Amino acid sequence: MKILDKILEKSARNVAQHSSRRSLLTGLGTALVGAASIPLLPVARASDQQQAQKPDESGDPTSCDYWRYCAIDGFLCECCGGNYNTCPPGTEMSTLTWIGTCKNPTDGRNYVISYNDCCGVTQCGTCLCQRDERDRPIYRADKSNDVNWCLGSESTVYHCSTAIVVGLAFDN
């Protein structure tokens, strides 16, 4: 990716007035192949636990290198009037998503990240970020970011992507 980054950063400078192409364009949101064969599962919410120490996380959500973005591919909502876990005004957060597993460098744990797209406004068009770790083609839609995951929303128009902590990964 380093080579590509260089090329695309050069490209990004060339098209500075157009948009940042922080990395290659290849994706939108998250999808669901074989919905017929994979059951849906509601996951329990964490109860608020009173603990002496606070949860620990660091990094810059405006950077494509931010740990939660390990499997992302799209425009970062952080740059579009929203932030890493909140949609910009006027948009609707998708309920269908794809999921990645990213390691929080601060606590060393792997978290399951849900990349909920924000839908219903013309493409944000800046802070394009493509990481694609453990991204799979559309035959594994649960891990696929090439699909327009706004497909289940009121508007299917893709605006930007969030990265929301929805749990710890198995290996923790």
Partner 1 sequence: MHNAHRNKAVITLWLGILGFLGSNLLQAAEDSPPPLPVEEIGNVVRLPASYPEHWMMIDEASFFSMYGGKVIILDVLEKHPAKRIKGMVHKNLLGNFTQHPSKPEFYVLESFHERGWRGKKTDVFVVYDRETLKIQKEIVWPTHRMQTLPQRYTMAVTGDEKFIVAANFTPAASFSVVSVDGHELLSTIGTPGCVLTYPTGKRSVSSLCSNGGMLTTVLDRKGQVKAQHRIEPFFDSDDTPIFERPVIVDQQAYFPSFKGKMHHFDFSGEVAEYKGSWSLVSDEEAAANWRPSGLGLIDQDEQGLVYVIMQPDGAEGTQTHGGSQIWVFDVAKQQRLNVIDVPNWAITLGVTRGKEPKIVVTNGELVLDVLDAASGELIQTIADFGNVTPLMLHKSY
> Which residues, numbered 140-159, are part of the site for partner 1 (CB under 8 A)?
140-143, 146-148, 151-152, 154-159
Our CA angle for 15, 20, 21, nearest 5°, is 90
* Residues 79 to 118 in contact with a second copy, rule: CB under 8 A: none
Our CA angle for 89, 23, 121, nearest 5°, is 20
* From 117, 132, 135, 146, active-site residue: 117
Our CA angle for 102, 110, 100, nearest 5°, is 35
Choose, by CB under 8 A, the member of 65, 103, 105, 133 that binds partner 1. 133
Q: How far is the CB of 18 from a second copy (least distance, A)?
A: 6
The 10-49 contact track toward a second copy, x by CB under 8 A, reads -x-xxxxxx-------------------------------
Residue 78, amino acid: E
Phi, psi of 12 (to 5 degrees): -60, -40
- Asked whether the beta carbons of 114 and 97 are under 8 A apart, the reply is yes
Q: How far is the CB of 162 from partner 1 (least distance, A)?
A: 9
Whether 149 is a known active-site residue: answer no
